[in-house]
Amino acid sequence: MFIQTEATPNPATLKFIPGRAVLDSGTMEFVNAEAAARSPLAARLFGVPGVTSVFYGSDFVTVTKDDSDWQHLKPAILGAIMEHYMSGAPLLADGSAASDEASDEEDEFFNEADAETVATIKDLIETRVRPAVASDGGDITFRGFRDGIVYLNMKGSCAGCPSSTATLQHGIQNLLKHFVPDVVEVRPM
């Protein structure tokens, strides 16, 4: 098994590509060992000292570290991913394929009068923003829209990334303002 690694814009995060599907749909994020307990792979990765979060995309695993050195962490992370896939263990202990997106939609907020605007915003995020962000090992999801402000949730390599503010304000905000005149600002949540 050959696992590729790619740098991300976030120096504390690396993208690991195992050469096979990770999640059938959506994304999942584990921000601590307790949350990782439902996934044998995430639990194994949190067993590597220095790992602070694990994120699953369709065909990649993004791992974020503390101030430890990648030179020491990378071999242990590669070993953990390889051991998981070689063992044949499921990605999730309960066998489900549920993603974070179901709970994200339940927590959305916006005025029903803005439903058409929100649908356009969500479509732009889904078709133009998320594919680009996924290539960097992260994800961005819609959280809400109020008073012209779009609230987005940043996950994986996007969370805590030094360039995330620029991505939000210069990339995503400009895109949304161009297509949706009601948008005045984009903020992380």
Q: Does one domain contain both 131 and 155?
A: yes
187: helix, coil or strand? strand
Kindly state whether residue 181 falls inside one of the protein's structural domains: yes
Structural domains of the chain, count = 2
Phi, psi of 67 (to 5 degrees): -85, 10
Distance CA 53, CA 177 (A): 32
CATH number at residue 152: 3.30.300.130
What's the pLDDT at 133? 80
Q: Average pLDDT of the chain?
A: 87
Kindly state whether residue 96 falls inside one of the protein's structural domains: no
Distance CA 58, CA 135 (A): 11
Task: Give residue-wise pLDDT tens across range 145-157.
Answer: 999 999 988 887 7
**97 pLDDT exceeds 80?**
no
Write out the residue range of the structural domain in which residue 60 sits: 4-87
Among 36, 63, 87, give the residue marking a domain's end. 87
Q: What secondary structure does DSSP assign to 33-69, as a single string?
A: HHHHTT-HHHHHHHTSTTEEEEEE-SS-EEEEESSS-
What's the pLDDT at 162? 66
